[in-house]
Amino acid sequence: MRKLIFVGFIAVGALIGWISVMDGDWGTRLVMMGVGALFMAPVGGALAGIVKKRRSLAWSDSRLPSDGTSSKDMAANYWRDEGHSPFAKPGTSEGEMHRWDRGSAG
C-alpha cells in the first residue's frame, strides 16, 4: 500500500507537469512531466512513510565510551582537568608559572 501511494504521487506530479504545458511540443511535455515527478517523489515518500527510521544517540551518550566529552566523563575528571573541557585546557609556559612569586623579576 505504501508503494502504491508513492507511485501515485509520482504519477500526479507527472500529470501536473503534463497539464501545465498541454499546448507545447513533446520535448517540453516530457521535461515538465519529469520535473513534476521529481518534485512529487519526496512528497509521496514522506506521506507514504517509507523513510527508514534511524536510531539516534541520546544527548548524554557520546559516540565513543571514553572520549572525555560526555557529561559523565567531564564530571568524573573535573578535578584533573580543573574545570576545562578536554583538549581546551590553556597551556602553561615557564614564565607564567612563576609570575606572582615574590622576589622573581620574571
Model confidence at 60: pLDDT above 60 = no
Whole-prediction pTM value? 0.47
CA distances from 80 to 27, 44, 66, 73 (A): 70, 54, 15, 11
3-state secondary structure of 41: helix
Res 34: pLDDT: 94
- Is residue 89 very low, low, confident or very high in pLDDT (cuts 50, 70, 90)? low
Higher pLDDT pick, 30 / 85: 30
Model confidence at 105: pLDDT above 60 = no
CA distances from 57 to 16, 17, 54, 70, 71 (A): 41, 41, 10, 12, 14
Name the nearest CA neighbour of 70 among 81, 79, 60: 60
Higher pLDDT pick, 40 / 75: 40
